């Protein structure tokens, strides 16, 4: 969705899926770091909400990054 701001904003919806708050916060920190370092510099000024699936809790950092890039490429088409 186009943003009213001159910069991109990204939010996450991360349900617990029977995981602890520690697991959920770790996943949020990983996703925020991926977005901060690799996604925001190249993203147009849009508001983006990412809904995280349960499998994301078990993914290593590199796989999370690759899957997020893949989803953004699909969105850009």
Strands 47-51 and 9-13, sheet pairing = parallel
pLDDT at 44: 82
**Predicted TM-score of the model (pTM):** 0.83
Query: pLDDT at residue 1 above 70?
Result: no
pLDDT at 3: 61
Question: pLDDT for 40-64, tens place per residue?
Answer: 887 888 888 999 999 999 999 999 9
pLDDT band at residue 74 under the 50/70/90 scheme: confident
Residue in 63, 71, 57, 60 with CA at minimum distance from that of residue 27? 57
Q: Which residue has the tokens 């078990």?
A: 58
CATH of domain 9-76: 3.30.230.10
Q: Give the 3-state DSSP-derived string for the chain, with helices as H, strands as E and coil as C.
A: CECCCCCCEEEEECCCCCCCHHHHHHHHHHHHHHHHHHHHHHCCCEEEEEECCHHHHHCCHHHHHHHHHHHHHHHHC
């Amino acid at each position: 969705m186009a943003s009213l701001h001159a910069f991109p904003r990204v939010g996450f919806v991360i349900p617990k899926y029977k995981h602890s708050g520690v697991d959920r916060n770790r996943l949020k920190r990983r996703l925020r770091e991926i977005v901060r370092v690799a996604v925001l510099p190249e993203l147009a000024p849009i508001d983006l909400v990412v809904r995280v699936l349960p499998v994301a809790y078990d993914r290593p950092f590199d796989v999370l990054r690759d899957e997020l890039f893949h989803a953004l490429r699909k969105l850009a088409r």
